[in-house]
């Protein structure tokens, strides 16, 4: 029996993009690979509560460090791992048998001012080295394939695009469920919504400045991990009475939160994929995204777009939706149809097929 290890160090609660990718694969791969022993690499205490039986190879070194590489080499040899799937840039050093990498984007070199010199150097040296040695290199969009070809010098034909999926729980939610979630979170009947991180490239300060120009708009709800990062900006923009900041929510709440929104707004400066807009579209929520990164590709013409960092254009798009019930209905229908094309089952099936080429 072959042993396959999947990097699980990015599992957080609630899951973000990379975390969701690892979690959904770990849920599905054992059934697709019954003749293989699948395990994970991470901190046992951090394994997601939905996977209490996951067997974990403990990894406690700091990411992006020499210690990480030494520990990874020891774990792979000590546990006799035949194939390692890295989802967080790192891979075993020289001498190891087989590994594949999923690199979701090239943000550290594409937008280096957001993350500093250290991460840019790591991506241009270590990640380039790992990517060139990988038996297979995966990414999640055609945009990211072009980025990796440009910044890592990997020929496009060596990079396989396997898009992320949408959990089937993301669908239009009955009115009574929306009402229960709204009551529990103390939300108004009408609101605009952002779900995502509060890190620089998500462009939330730009969203706040644009929203401040939309007179008589419903309240804006911001939902994400580390809400303390955005509250000072809300106050600086004079929006403390018009904006509701929520901590990140799980799958028991998010579908109703999306379904109850008048519109979903996602002004990100860079995305390798962009799960939140697709989740909102799957719930039937009219969606507005910037034209940056993979967002036009992933939303496939079923969302409104605006030029990156153009406040006037975003304000116009918000007005367009708020003033037209017909336009909202049109985008709701188109969004549901488009999002239905993205399924984690298909993503896992294609990843399992890559595994089987090497074990």
pLDDT of 50 over the 80 cut: no
pLDDT of residue 124: 85
Model confidence band, residue 306 (pLDDT cutoffs 50, 70, 90): very high
Model confidence band, residue 54 (pLDDT cutoffs 50, 70, 90): low
Q: Can you list the domains of the chain with their CATH numbers? A: 2-165+343-356 (3.40.50.2000), 175-339 (3.40.50.2000)
The stretch 150-167 carries a mean pLDDT of 94
β 159-161/136-139 pair status: parallel
pLDDT of 61 over the 80 cut: no
- For 22, half-sphere exposure in the C-beta direction (CA atoms, 13 angstrom radius) is 30
pLDDT of 256 over the 70 cut: yes
118 vs 22, which has greater pLDDT?
Answer: 22
pLDDT of residue 96: 62
List phi, psi (to 5°) of 358.
-120, -5
pLDDT of 13 over the 70 cut: no
Report which of 209, 264, 220 is spatially closest to residue 244, judged by C-alpha positions: 220
Model confidence band, residue 103 (pLDDT cutoffs 50, 70, 90): very high
Per-residue pLDDT of 275-302, as tens digits, reads: 999 999 999 999 999 999 999 999 999 9
- DSSP characters for 291-341? SSTTHHHHHTTSSEEE-TT-HHHHHHHHHHHHT-HHHHHHHHHHHHHHHTT
pLDDT of residue 251: 86
SS3 132: helix
- For 250, half-sphere exposure in the C-beta direction (CA atoms, 13 angstrom radius) is 7
Q: 246 pairs with which residues across the strands?
A: 223
Cβ atoms of 241 and 296 closer than 8 Å: no
Cα–Cα dist 352/35, whole Å: 12
Per-residue pLDDT of 230-247, as tens digits, reads: 999 999 999 999 999 999
Structure tokens at 305: 């777009």
Report which of 294, 285, 24, 31 is spatially closest to residue 165, judged by C-alpha positions: 24
End-to-end, the C-alpha distance of the chain in Å comes to: 9
The stretch 208-217 carries a mean pLDDT of 95
Model confidence band, residue 45 (pLDDT cutoffs 50, 70, 90): low
Q: 29 pairs with which residues across the strands?
A: none
Mean pLDDT (the chain, rounded):
90
Cα–Cα dist 290/307, whole Å: 6
140 class by beta-carbon count within 10 Å (0-12 exposed, 13-18 middle, 19+ buried) = buried
């Amino acid at each position: 029996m072959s042993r396959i290890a999947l990097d699980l160090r990015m599992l957080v609660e609630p899951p973000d993009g990379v975390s969701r990718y690892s979690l959904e694969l770990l849920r599905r791969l054992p059934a697709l690979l019954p003749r293989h022993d699948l395990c994970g690499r991470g901190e046992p205490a951090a394994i997601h509560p939905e996977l209490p039986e996951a067997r974990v190879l403990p990894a406690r070194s700091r990411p992006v460090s020499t210690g990480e590489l030494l520990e990874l080499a020891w774990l792979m040899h000590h546990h006799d791992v035949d194939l390692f799937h890295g989802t967080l840039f790192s891979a075993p050093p020289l001498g190891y048998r087989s590994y594949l990498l999923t690199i979701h984007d090239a943000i550290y070199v594409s937008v280096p001012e957001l993350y500093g010199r250290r991460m840019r150097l790591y991506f241009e040296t270590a990640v380039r080295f790992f990517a060139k040695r990988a038996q297979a290199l995966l990414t999640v969009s055609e945009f990211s394939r072009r980025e990796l070809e440009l910044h890592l010098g990997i020929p496009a034909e060596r990079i396989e695009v396997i898009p992320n999926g949408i959990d089937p729980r993301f669908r239009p939610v009955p009115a009574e469920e929306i009402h229960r979630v709204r009551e529990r979170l103390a939300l108004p009947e009408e609101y605009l919504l952002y779900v995502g991180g509060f890190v620089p490239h998500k462009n939330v300060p730009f969203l706040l400045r644009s929203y401040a120009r939309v007179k008589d708009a419903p309240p804006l709800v911001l939902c994400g991990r580390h809400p303390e990062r955005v509250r000072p900006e809300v106050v600086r923009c004079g929006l403390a009475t018009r904006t509701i900041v929520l901590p990140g929510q799980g799958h028991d709440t998010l579908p109703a939160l999306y379904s109850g929104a008048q519109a979903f707004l996602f002004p990100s400066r860079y995305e390798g994929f962009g799960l939140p807009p697709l989740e909102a579209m799957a719930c039937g929520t009219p969606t507005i995204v910037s034209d940056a990164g993979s967002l036009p590709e992933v939303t496939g013409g079923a969302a409104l777009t605006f030029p990156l960092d153009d406040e006037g254009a975003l304000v116009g798009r918000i007005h367009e939706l708020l003033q037209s019930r017909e336009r909202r209905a049109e985008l709701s229908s188109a969004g549901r149809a488009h999002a239905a094309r993205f399924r984690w089952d298909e993503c896992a099936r294609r990843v399992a097929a890559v595994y089987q080429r090497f074990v």
